[in-house]
Structure formats: C-alpha cells, structure tokens
C-alpha cells in the first residue's frame, strides 16, 4: 500500500491510499479500486470543446494567490466564467465580492438569504432589505440554497432550519428575486441511494453510506416531499428563474425532472457533482440531454483541479467506455461517456447559461 499526501487549494493536506492490491478475503468495500483491462479507445479532453460558463462553484480560493491560480486553470481548461455560490450575506458576502471582484469578467458572486431572526415578526421584510443590499453590492443571483429535509441549512451566517423553499415566509424574497432578475440556485434532497437501506442491496452503497440520510430525525422531509416543495415554489413564482442543482437529485429517475421541465418554463437544472451518478447510463443520458437541451447548464461543484474539469469534459464529449476516476467518485461502477453532439454541448456549456444570466 502506498500513502500519498495531496495539498488542496485551501491548503489542507489529504492522505490518499493508492497502489497495491489487497487480499480479497479482507478487502473492505470502501477500498475496492478496480482497474479496467478492456482494450477500448481512451480519450483525453484537457480542454472543453467550446467556451464554458460553470454555473456551480463555491469560494474555493481564499487568497489572491489561490484566485490567480484558479484563473490560470480556467484559462487552461476553457472555463470562461465561474458562478460563485457563496451561501452568504452580510460581511462574509462583502468580503467575497472584494476578493473575486479583482476578476470581474471571470467570476460572479451570488448571495444567500439571511435567516437571522426568521421566527420573529417582520423577518421577511428585513431579509428582503439584505437581499437588495447584496444586489447593490454585486450579487446577481441567489444560491446555493440547500434543503436535505430539515430546511434551508446552507445559508450563512444563519441557517434556515424549518423553512422550505415553498414556505410562505419566503414568498417576498422569491418575488424580489423576480423583480431584480436574480436566478435562484437551489439544492433539494440527495441522490436516491442515500435514502435506501444501507445493505448489500444498495446499488450505490460505497458512496451512499457516507452521505446517507438519517430518516429518524423529527420533521425530516423525504425525497418526494422535497421535490414537491421545489415544484410548489416554481409553480407559484412563474416570474422567478430557478436552477435545480444536481439534476434536482433525480438521477435515479430523470423522468421526474423531465416532467417538471415540461410544466414549468422558469425551471432549469445544473448537472454539477452528479457525473458519477449518471455516467453508468450513457445512452439514456444522451437522450435526456437532447430532449432537454434548452434547460440544462454545466456545473462542477468539485473543486478547481485541471483533472476534475477534464473528467467532466470526457464524460460529456466522448463515447469512452468503462473507465474510472476514484479521485473524484467513490461508487463501485465504471464511467461511460455520453457523446453529446455539438449543438447540445454549445447550449450546455454556455448558451443556456447566457440566457439565464442575460438581464
């Protein structure tokens, strides 16, 4: 066994186990690392075929030096612009605008909702004022809002536990977003494997066990209930643009998302951080991208390394079969490329995002 130290963009040291095969009699499922022996075409896609707008990133760079390195990587791989989903309001948001504002053509920082005092009378009005202040400071969208069952917990400095996206208290904020033409990027639920029993029947156990949903928590909404909160908000706020993160976490049954697309023209979805979940079904994904080519946008949500970007491009652009990327995905299954055509790629990479960002 070989131990490898990796330094992340934020300066953290990660200990990575690589190298020698292990005895199958004692092998742990989480350490299963197969190597493909198929003699099939292997593509390298270090740069996207067309210029890209990444609609789902976070403030990974914390210093000017780290930010400059990220811009260098973006130039290298073909990322024209990155949307920074900050979750933040107040001083934290302002500090991010000051940092990323050094590259105004390359980054756009979106704010969160301020849930401070959410249970007090008049909270919605105060939250709207902070939203307007963030807009004046440079925010042109909201996100990432996040609800895994207990409420909008992603927002900083105060999480919105107990408030779901269709809560009446959020109505004034959703309406203000429409007025200011601020799209809302929202994460609801988790991939369905995280709700399934954690046993030998779980198809995605190797990753699902880490991110499993504790269904014993009081007041927790299930997968279908969370999708319903999203639908309620999208339906009741037709002038507000919503971007459902990660295919709305419906990778197991994308017909759910397709049905929402069919009903609500103000709904889009990003494809971020769900490459591992969708790469096992490349032919279905190709058909889905083709059918909903006007409603899907590119996103990563997986850091800033050139190798990460290259893997996403390989999955989207090529027809490669049966390959692995254990640096980024911890499922047991191999990956397969979707082989998207040029028209779909242009829309996915840039044109659909431009349509959302055009104000």
Q: pLDDT tens, 314-356?
A: 999 999 999 999 999 989 899 999 999 999 999 999 999 999 9
Q: pLDDT tens, 202-251?
A: 999 999 999 999 999 999 999 999 999 999 999 999 999 999 999 999 99
Residue 12 has pLDDT above 80, yes or no: no
pTM: 0.92
| Rounded average pLDDT over 76-80 | 98
CATH architecture of 40-357: Alpha-Beta Barrel (3.20)
Confidence band of 20 (pLDDT split at 50, 70, 90): low
Say if strands 184-188 and 52-57 run parallel, antiparallel, or are unpaired: unpaired
| Rounded average pLDDT over 299-323 | 98
b/e code 130-161 from CB counts within 10 Å (16+ = b): bbebbbebbbbbbbbbbbbbbbbbbbbeebbe
Of residues 99 and 9, more confidence is placed in: 99
Q: What is the pLDDT of residue 2?
A: 45
Q: What is the pLDDT of residue 358?
A: 87
- Domain-by-domain residue ranges, the chain? 40-357
Q: pLDDT tens, 140-197?
A: 999 999 999 999 999 889 999 999 999 999 999 999 999 999 999 999 999 999 999 9
Q: How far apart are CA 207 and CA 276, in angstroms?
A: 10
Q: What is the pLDDT of residue 117?
A: 94
């Amino acid at each position: 066994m070989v131990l490898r130290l990796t330094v992340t963009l934020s300066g953290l040291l990660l200990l990575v186990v690589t190298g020698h095969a292990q005895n199958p009699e004692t092998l742990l499922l989480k350490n299963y690392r197969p190597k493909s022996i198929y003699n099939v075409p292997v593509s390298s896609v270090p740069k996207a075929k067309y210029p890209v707008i990444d609609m789902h990133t976070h403030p990974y760079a914390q210093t000017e030096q780290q930010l400059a390195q990220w811009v260098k990587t973006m130039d290298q791989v073909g990322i024209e612009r990155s949307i920074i989903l900050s979750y933040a309001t107040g001083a934290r948001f302002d500090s991010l605008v000051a940092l990323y504002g050094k590259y105004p053509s390359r980054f756009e920082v979106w704010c969160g909702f301020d849930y401070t005092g959410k249970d007090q009378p008049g909270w919605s009005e105060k939250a709207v004022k902070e939203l307007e202040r963030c807009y004046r400071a440079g925010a042109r969208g909201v996100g990432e809002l996040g609800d895994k069952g207990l409420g909008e917990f992603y927002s900083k400095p105060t999480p919105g536990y107990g408030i779901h996206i269709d809560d009446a208290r959020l109505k004034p904020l959703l309406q203000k977003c429409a007025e200011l033409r601020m799209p809302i990027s929202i994460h609801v639920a988790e991939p369905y494997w995280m709700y399934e029993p954690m046993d030998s029947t779980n198809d995605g156990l190797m990753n699902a066990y880490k991110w499993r949903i504790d269904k014993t928590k009081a007041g927790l909404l299930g997968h279908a209930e969370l999708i319903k909160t999203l639908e309620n908000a999208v339906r009741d706020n037709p002038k507000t643009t919503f971007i459902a993160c990660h295919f709305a976490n419906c990778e197991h049954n994308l017909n759910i998302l397709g049905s929402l697309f069919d009903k609500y023209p103000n709904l889009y979805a990003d494809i971020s951080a769900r490459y591992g979940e969708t790469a096992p079904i490349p032919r279905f994904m190709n058909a889905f991208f083709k059918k909903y080519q006007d409603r899907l946008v590119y996103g990563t949500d997986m850091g800033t390394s050139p190798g990460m970007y290259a893997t996403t491009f390989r999955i989207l652009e090529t027809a490669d079969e049966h390959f692995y990327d254990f640096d980024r995905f911890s499922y047991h299954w191999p990956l397969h490329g979707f082989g998207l055509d040029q028209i779909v790629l242009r829309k996915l990479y840039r044109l659909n995002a431009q349509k959302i960002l055009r104000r």
